[in-house]
Amino acid sequence: MKSLTLKIPRSFSLICFNRTHSSSSQTQLNKPLIEKTFFKSNTKDGLISRLCKDGKFKEAIDILCEQKHLAEAIQLLNRIDRPSASIYSTLLQLCLQQRALVQGKLVHAHTKVSGFVPGLFICNRLIDLYAKCGSLVDAQKVFDEMSERDLCSWNTMISGYAKVGLLGEARKLFDEMPEKDNFSWTAMISGYVRHERPKEALQLYRMMQRHDNSKSNKFTVSSALAASAAIQSLRLGKEIHGFIMRTGLDSDEVVWSALSDMYGKCGSIEEAKRIFDKMVNRDVVSWTAMIDRYFEDGKREEGFALFSELMKSGIRPNEFTFAGVLNACAHHAAENLGKQVHGYMTRIGFDPLSFASSALVHMYSKCGNTVNANMVFKGMPHPDVVSWTSLIVGYAQNGQPYEALQLFELLLKSGTKPDHITFVGVLSACTHAGLVEKGLEYFHSIKAKHGLAHTADHYACVVDLLARAGRFEEAENFINEMPMKPDKFLWASLIGGCRIHGNLKLAKRAAEALFEIEPENPATYITLANIYATGGMWDEVTKVRKTMDERGVIKKPGLSWIEIKREVHVFLVGDKSHLRYDEIHFFLHELSKRMKEEGYVPDTNFVLHDVEEEQKEQNLSYHSEKLAVAFGIISTPPGTPIKVFKNLRTCVDCHTAIKFISKIANRKIIVRDSNRFHCFEYGNCSCRDYW
């Protein structure tokens, strides 16, 4: 006694098709059970019932398959003595459409029990079903058992293997197949591209071009262009472009899009835009790709301008478009534009579950607006770990470490699992608040409590935490015991702590390590020279400067900028080129008098020249952030908050001076340097002077 069990979902109970094996192999049916279950829930004026009573099971199955009632259609199989190839084909086709692997296996099993011998067509359909449902073992078994195979059989197997990354198996079949068509070549080439093996894709593309019976189509050349883009070979990309022009494939939008993408990724952004402009039917994907290319190439204005064109084009941006633009706003601290994008998203009703919402949280956090970041975050029904992390990092960088830690505890209670980046934010919050013991506790919990591996970033955060607190012996022990080689971020954290506390011995060790890792980075030389200058070791300062000259290392100039009435004003240290320089200079001169009356004393420790104190003070007076702050104050109504951005870390003297300026001018002044936000108000800074 054998049984074949069908698992029927929803209203259908399990039904076993019992077969008694007499000499004639006739099927014995439990008709009352089937009819009670089946006819009770179906259908269309009793049509199926009447067809079954008349023995017209094929017609009944066809109707059920048209209505997408797969489970019910499969039930009828055992009402048929010898199902035809047509019936099996119809059922398998619906299984394929619904990616119903379990039901497909039942139909396949039924062919064996009923004694049906599938021909080439049914076998190909079975292979296609198994391949598209990810069951390549079953697909290969059917393929191996076939007495006859055609191109479709080989291509389906190759495509199935290539799509899931089993490229060795795919290539073996590809090399063995007796003949190949365009689909064969394209499936193999695109498989290599999809799984990041572009060189092999291009080798195969070359082989295809030499093959007598093959002719590249739009999908083949698109894959070859993607491979050229992956290895950033503009030469190969141009060769393929020439082939496209010669063969007339240049009229297809798929090819245009691939060409534009290739030129963009190979650094030829102007050619990418020319291709983009030629495209007639540009969809949102094409627009988004071109906008992203501008941002990736550092062409901020062009990217924002093209996004503005998209909004006027009548094509609606999608969440990928919004996320790309918002991330660019975050990178360039363009909060005003980010707010406009947010407003547009709100008007068209964006999905709060989309990752564009996460990009909004990230944008506001990076722009120093944690109030808006929190507002967007609270509007998300189910924030993902990226959103949680963005807000935690935002709080940490904006002088709100306790809010960051409180939010992290809420994350844990929510059931969301933190990742290693989340812990970078948490450890940074502890660093900025000077919470050494709490930070060490969080560090040890990463592995012990959350089952995550410690990363180099985590170790760098802890070294930063210990070094800022002056606990250098613990920091050294920590470095010596860590399982991986210290990276540049760790050594930079250590030398930063040495600068605060004047630990020359350890600073030298960190500097030597950094000179090996990135000898071209001027920050290490400047920090080391600053430490020497603080100790009045001017000969050592001179040696550092000489080393920089010998190695061709150029100090990055301090650069600050401020946006007033949608216009960005940029200032360099000692910059006299601004149209309102005289006003700025006069204002700073008068402000300096007031500051000294309030108790301000210029900190000349980090001026890298052995000159008179008066000259040092003058040098400090015209640092770029002071110029930008002064311009912001004279250009805006009283009480208007000032927001300044700087490409380097702000110096100790500027930090002290801006505290005084905020009190005297009665302004809230926000300065975002390369490391964090400083919010100055009423003579205090959000960092509590621990930075």
SS3 labels along 98-118: CCCHHHHHHHHHHHHHCCCCC
Is the pLDDT reported for residue 611 higher than 60?
no
Q: Which of 324, 360, 367, 317 has the alpha carbon at shortest distance from 342?
A: 360
Mapped onto helix, strand or coil, the DSSP state of residue 681 is strand
Lowest pLDDT segment from 44-53, 463-472, 534-543: 44-53
Angle at 175 between CA 170 and CA 173, to 5 degrees: 35
Are the CB atoms for 256 and 285 separated by under 8 Å? no
The per-residue pLDDT for range 490-535, each reduced to its tens digit, is: 999 999 999 888 899 999 999 999 999 999 999 999 899 989 888 8
Domain boundary among 161, 179, 197: 179
Sign for the CA dihedral angle at 353, 354, 360, 365 comes to positive
The per-residue pLDDT for range 76-120, each reduced to its tens digit, is: 787 787 888 998 899 999 999 999 999 999 999 988 888 888 999
Domain boundary among 125, 155, 179: 179
Q: How many CB atoms lie within 10 A of CB 77?
A: 23
Classify residue 584: in a domain, yes or no: yes
Specify the pLDDT at position 555: 82
**Band of the pLDDT at 618, cuts 50, 70, 90?**
low
Instruction: Give the Cα separation of 354 and 649 in Å (integer).
Output: 35
Specify the pLDDT at position 434: 87
Domain boundary among 136, 162, 179: 179
Q: Mean pLDDT over residues 611-633, rounded?
A: 71
- CATH number, domain with residue 143: 1.25.40.10
Classify residue 635: in a domain, yes or no: yes
Lowest pLDDT segment from 231-235, 353-357, 538-542: 353-357
Q: How many CB atoms lie within 10 A of CB 613?
A: 10
The percent of the chain in helix, strand and coil, each rounded to the nearest 5, is 65, 5, 30
Specify the pLDDT at position 139: 95
Q: What is the DSSP letter of 564?
A: E
Classify residue 146: in a domain, yes or no: yes
Domain total in the chain: 2
% of the chain with per-residue pLDDT over 90: 52
DSSP one-letter string for 447-472: HHTT-PPP-HHHHHHHHHHHHHTT-H
Residue 370 burial by Cβ neighbours in a 10 Å radius (0-12, 13-18, 19+): buried
Name the pairing type of β-strands 669-672 and 642-646. Answer: parallel
Instruction: Give the Cα separation of 111 and 4 in Å (integer).
Output: 12
Q: Mean pLDDT over residues 359-363, rounded?
A: 94
The per-residue pLDDT for range 181-210, each reduced to its tens digit, is: 889 999 999 999 999 999 999 999 988 888
- Domain with 78, as residue range(s), is 44-179
More confident position, 75 or 89:
89
The per-residue pLDDT for range 440-464, each reduced to its tens digit, is: 999 999 999 999 999 999 999 999 9
Residue 605: which residues within 8 A CB-CB, separation 6 or more?
Answer: 530, 533, 534, 652
What type of residue sits at position 144? D
Mapped onto helix, strand or coil, the DSSP state of residue 480 is helix
DSSP one-letter string for 368-437: T-HHHHHHHHHT-SS--HHHHHHHHHHHHHTT-HHHHHHHHHHHHHHTPPP-HHHHHHHHHHHHHHT-HH
Classify residue 188: in a domain, yes or no: no
Specify the pLDDT at position 168: 93
Classify residue 325: in a domain, yes or no: no
The per-residue pLDDT for range 202-260, each reduced to its tens digit, is: 999 988 888 766 678 888 889 999 999 898 889 989 988 988 888 877 777 788 888 88
Is the pLDDT reported for residue 622 higher than 80?
no
List of long-range contacts for 111-116, beta carbons under 8 Å, 24+ apart: 113/2, 113/4, 113/19, 114/77, 114/82, 114/83, 115/25, 115/82, 116/82, 116/83, 116/85, 116/88
Classify residue 438: in a domain, yes or no: no
Which residue carries 């502890």 as its tokens? 430
Sign for the CA dihedral angle at 153, 156, 160, 163 comes to positive
The per-residue pLDDT for range 256-300, each reduced to its tens digit, is: 888 888 998 888 899 999 989 888 888 898 899 899 989 988 888
Specify the pLDDT at position 47: 75
Classify residue 186: in a domain, yes or no: no
Is the pLDDT reported for residue 8 higher than 90?
no
Are the CB atoms for 682 and 663 separated by under 8 Å? yes
Are the CB atoms for 562 and 568 separated by under 8 Å? yes
More confident position, 4 or 89:
89
Q: Mean pLDDT over residues 40-51, rounded?
A: 59
Residue 392: which residues within 8 A CB-CB, separation 6 or more?
Answer: 404, 407, 408, 411, 422, 425, 426, 429
The per-residue pLDDT for range 382-426, each reduced to its tens digit, is: 899 999 999 999 999 888 999 999 999 999 999 999 999 999 999
Specify the pLDDT at position 399: 84
End-to-end CA separation in angstroms for the chain = 80
Is the pLDDT reported for residue 9 higher than 70?
no
Is the pLDDT reported for residue 3 higher than 60?
no
Instruction: Give the Cα separation of 136 and 164 in Å (integer).
Output: 9
Classify residue 98: in a domain, yes or no: yes
**Residue 517, CA atoms < 13 Å, CB-side half-sphere:** 16
What type of residue sits at position 618? Q
**Band of the pLDDT at 594, cuts 50, 70, 90?**
very high
Specify the pLDDT at position 612: 44
